[in-house]
């Protein structure tokens, strides 16, 4: 069973930066995309950013120009560089790796943007 482990979250002031990492416990074959989602209590999980194995990226409008998703060559780690953070970016962030036929989720990591 593949496990995804997120790291890099925490408390940061508005305008600050954080880099989230998500490491898979082993190589995953047949990846179609990797991504980051976020969720606040009482709200639906929201797509933040995705990246395909060939590097095509997609971002929700609210983070465009501030967040950057990337992955390592082995496609076992996916990163989310978050700059110019805002209080509304506060959420639990989850990484996802979508392969054929499995979907893998991390357990989530809290990001709090507050002064």
d(CA 79, CA 111): 14
Position 74 scores a pLDDT of 81
Q: How many C-alpha atoms does 2 have within 13 Å on its Cβ side? A: 21
d(CA 112, CA 8): 12
Position 1 scores a pLDDT of 85
Q: What is the mean pLDDT of residues 46-70?
A: 97
Convert the pLDDT of each residue in 83-109 to its tens digit: 999 999 999 999 999 998 899 999 999
Question: Model confidence at 41, in pLDDT bands (50, 70, 90)?
Answer: confident
Tokens matching residue 10:
């925490």
- Structural Rg of the chain based on CA atoms: 13
Could you give the 3-state DSSP secondary structure of residue 63?
helix
Question: Model confidence at 16, in pLDDT bands (50, 70, 90)?
Answer: very high
């Amino acid at each position: 069973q593949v496990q995804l482990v997120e790291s890099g979250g925490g408390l940061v002031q508005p305008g600050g930066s954080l880099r989230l990492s998500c490491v898979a416990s082993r190589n995953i074959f047949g990846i179609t995309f990797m991504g980051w989602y976020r969720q606040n209590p009482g709200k639906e999980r929201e797509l933040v950013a995705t990246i395909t194995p060939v590097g095509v990226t997609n971002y929700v409008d609210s983070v465009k120009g501030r967040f950057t998703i990337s992955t390592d060559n082995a496609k076992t780690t996916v990163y989310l560089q978050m700059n110019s953070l805002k209080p509304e970016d506060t959420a639990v962030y989850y990484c996802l790796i979508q392969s054929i036929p499995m979907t893998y989720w991390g357990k989530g990591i809290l990001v709090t943007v507050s002064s």
